[in-house]
């Protein structure tokens, strides 16, 4: 069956699901859900454009090698109970309460930002956003605690140490290409294309709904208890492995009409309405267009029964269908909230991203979302860390790359304390360099000498024995993937 035939079948399924949901919702809903139902009715009237734009989105994503990976956000620890106004709140019971989706974007100034979901259960001093096996981090108790008040946050992050043999390859989730402009912003969309559009929401939820029930429980296999706190250390490593797999595409039909006012929860921002159709048969058809190497993954979609909080922050991508043909897909927003309608239909509110990826633009987005304090805390933390990296370089004659890697292993407290905590790693670095130099001299191969410092950097481990072993292997290796 051709792609166009499959997409036509998917579009017909979307139309039927939305139409059925709209008729079932009736007059018994609140204003907010009623508005979502109205959006669903509007979308069902323009199924042809949804089919065309969904086709362009799918084809564009496939042509790129399906590199539209979302990020997964998690804090290293979680509180057992949330206390609000002195009253005990709900207990954490499953892992879906403890991780969120989002995107990582590099600004024009070279800083990295996480725009995505946050959990009210997060605690501790470490926040990680993991994308494609890479991690990005920010540390500080105030940063993580202040993230708990909103479901969408904007934070500046440090790119984690890449480690051995990992290429530095960055893939930016850009805005979509317009019919007559290089890129198009959400606020310009109505003028560019006034009709509704089909889109794709890549995510990792099905990888976890496929787990047996006991693996999802908290406390459990992925989240255990340490010092009366829930520890997400194992979950973090699991997320890192999952994030390196192709995400599963969900079907989204979004409206480009009047923005919807939504609270997040302390501020009002213009958002876009959209509808997700979580029908297992339709999802599996769409998934099989992307993930061809493992049919098992697409089969797990049948276990996704409805919207999960873990999907908060998931990005939605669209490609415009223009008279000149399909345009390049791009991100139009991230999921800020959801309302389950009838059947498999979920009403979504999307928060739009800036079209110009500058530090100022992300600060303005944080302000609009009411999370300026979170943003400011993360910026202060990164500025302090960058100061320590410079100090380590100047004082101990180590590279900026290594000094930056050390910051992944120490707490981000005062600059003085960070320098103190970093000193043992620096001393081990110089010790290792001398060991490697002596090894090269014994081997009588001076051509390997220029690898010594690079190998010491890229194999950096907190465990010195592992570090020395891998650094020696790196120096002796004939495979240039070690030190590229």
Q: Check whether 27 has a pLDDT greater than 50.
A: no
Q: Check whether 9 has a pLDDT greater than 90.
A: no
Tokens of 184: 């198009």
Give the 3-state secondary structure of residue 231: strand
pTM of the model: 0.90
Give the pLDDT mean for 296-310: 84
- Cis peptide bond upstream of 219, omega within 30: yes
Q: Check whether 414 has a pLDDT greater than 70.
A: yes
Q: What is the pLDDT of residue 169?
A: 61
CA–CA–CA angle 38, 249, 293 (5° rounding): 160
Q: What are phi and psi of 397, to 5 degrees?
A: 55, 50
Burial (CB < 10 A; 0-12, 13-18, 19+), residue 440, is: buried
Distance CA 455, CA 435 (A): 12
Q: Are 246 and 260 in contact (CB under 8 A)?
A: no
Distance CA 462, CA 421 (A): 12
Q: Check whether 267 has a pLDDT greater than 50.
A: no
Q: Check whether 303 has a pLDDT greater than 60.
A: yes
What would the DSSP string read from start to end of 176-206? PPPSSSSS--GGGHHHH--S-EEEEEEESHH
Sorting pLDDT into bands at 50, 70 and 90, what band is 88?
A: low
Q: Check whether 208 has a pLDDT greater than 80.
A: yes
Q: Are 92 and 218 in contact (CB under 8 A)?
A: yes
Q: Check whether 7 has a pLDDT greater than 80.
A: yes
Alpha-carbon distance values, 287 to 31, 279, 297 (Å): 34, 12, 8
What would the DSSP string read from start to end of 64-125? TTS--PPEEEEEEEE-SEEEETTEEEEEP-BGGGTEEEEEEEE-TTS-EEEEEE--TTEEEE
Q: Are strands 112-117 and 99-106 parallel, antiparallel or unpaired?
A: antiparallel
Tokens of 296: 């098992």
- Check residues 257 and 123 and name the one with the higher pLDDT: 123
Distance CA 15, CA 37 (A): 13
Q: What is the pLDDT of residue 229?
A: 79
| Structure confidence by residue, pLDDT tens digits, 386-411 | 999 999 999 999 999 999 999 999 99
Distance CA 298, CA 286 (A): 9
Average pLDDT score over the chain? 84
| Of 52-56, 82-86, 178-182, 421-425, highest mean pLDDT | 421-425
Q: What percent of the chain has pLDDT over 90?
A: 45
Give the pLDDT mean for 136-157: 92
Domain ranges of the chain: 3-67+175-204+246-349, 69-170+210-244+358-372, 397-482
Lowest mean pLDDT among 63-77, 186-200, 376-390, 431-445: 186-200
- First CA to last CA distance, the chain: 43
Q: Are 229 and 81 in contact (CB under 8 A)?
A: no
Burial (CB < 10 A; 0-12, 13-18, 19+), residue 84, is: exposed
Q: What is the pLDDT of residue 201?
A: 95
Give the pLDDT mean for 463-473: 93
Q: What is the pLDDT of residue 25?
A: 60
| Structure confidence by residue, pLDDT tens digits, 334-373 | 999 888 887 888 888 899 899 899 999 999 999 999 999 9
Give the pLDDT mean for 137-151: 90
Q: What are phi and psi of 131, to 5 degrees?
A: -140, 125
Q: Are 176 and 331 in contact (CB under 8 A)?
A: yes
Give the 3-state secondary structure of residue 146: helix
Task: Give the count of alpha carbons within 13 A of 455, CB side only.
Answer: 28
Sorting pLDDT into bands at 50, 70 and 90, what band is 206?
A: very high
Q: Are 389 and 383 in contact (CB under 8 A)?
A: no
Tokens of 212: 């047996």
- Check residues 129 and 448 and name the one with the higher pLDDT: 129
Q: What is the pLDDT of residue 320?
A: 87
Give the 3-state secondary structure of residue 475: helix
Give the pLDDT mean for 24-46: 51
| DSSP character at residue 134 | E
């Amino acid at each position: 069956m051709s792609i166009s035939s499959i997409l036509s079948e998917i579009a017909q399924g979307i139309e039927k699901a939305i139409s059925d949901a709209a008729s079932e919702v009736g007059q018994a809903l609140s204003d907010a859900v009623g508005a979502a139902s109205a959006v669903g009715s509007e979308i069902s009237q323009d199924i042809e454009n949804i089919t065309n734009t969904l086709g362009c989105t799918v084809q564009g994503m496939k042509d790129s090698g399906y590199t539209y990976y979302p990020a997964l956000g998690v804090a290293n620890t979680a509180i057992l109970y949330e206390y609000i106004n002195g009253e005990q709140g709900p207990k954490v019971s499953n892992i879906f309460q403890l991780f969120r989706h989002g995107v990582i974007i590099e600004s024009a100034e070279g800083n990295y930002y996480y725009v995505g979901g946050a959990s009210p259960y997060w605690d501790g001093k470490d926040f990680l956003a993991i994308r494609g096996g890479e991690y990005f981090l920010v540390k500080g108790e105030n940063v993580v605690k202040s993230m708990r008040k909103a479901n969408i946050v904007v934070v500046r992050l440090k790119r984690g140490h890449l480690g051995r043999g990992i290429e530095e390859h960055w893939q930016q989730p850009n805005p979509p290409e317009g019919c007559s402009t290089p890129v198009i912003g959400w606020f310009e969309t109505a003028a560019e294309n006034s009709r509704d559009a089909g889109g794709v929401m890549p995510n990792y939820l099905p990888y976890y709904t496929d787990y047996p029930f006991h693996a999802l429980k908290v406390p459990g296999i992925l989240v255990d208890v340490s010092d009366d706190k829930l520890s997400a250390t194992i979950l973090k490593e699991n997320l890192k492995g999952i994030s390196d797999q192709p995400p599963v595409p969900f079907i989204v039909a979004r409206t480009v009409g009047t923005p919807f006012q939504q609270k997040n929860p302390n501020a009002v921002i213009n958002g876009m309405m959209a509808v997700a159709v979580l029908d297992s048969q339709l999802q599996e058809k769409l998934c099989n267009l992307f993930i061809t190497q493992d049919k098992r993954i697409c089969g797990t979609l049948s276990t996704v029964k409805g919207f999960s909080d873990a999907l908060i922050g998931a990005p939605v991508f669209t490609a415009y269908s223009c008279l000149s043909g399909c345009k390049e897909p791009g991100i139009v927003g991230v999921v800020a909230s959801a309302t389950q309608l009838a059947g498999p239909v979920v009403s979504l509110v999307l928060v739009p991203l800036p079209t110009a990826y500058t530090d100022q633009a992300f600060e303005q987005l944080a302000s609009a979302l009411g999370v300026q304090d979170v943003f400011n805390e993360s910026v202060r933390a990164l500025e302090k860390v960058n100061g320590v990296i410079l100090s380590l370089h100047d004082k101990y004659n180590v590279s900026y790359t290594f000094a930056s890697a050390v910051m992944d292993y120490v707490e981000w407290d005062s600059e003085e304390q960070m320098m103190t905590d970093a000193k043992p790693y620096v001393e081990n670095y110089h010790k290792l360099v001398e060991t490697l130099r002596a090894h090269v001299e014994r081997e009588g191969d001076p051509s390997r000498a220029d690898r010594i410092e690079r190998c010491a950097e890229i194999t950096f481990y907190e465990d010195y024995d592992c570090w020395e072993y891998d650094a020696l292997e790196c120096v002796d290796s004939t495979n240039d993937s070690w030190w590229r």
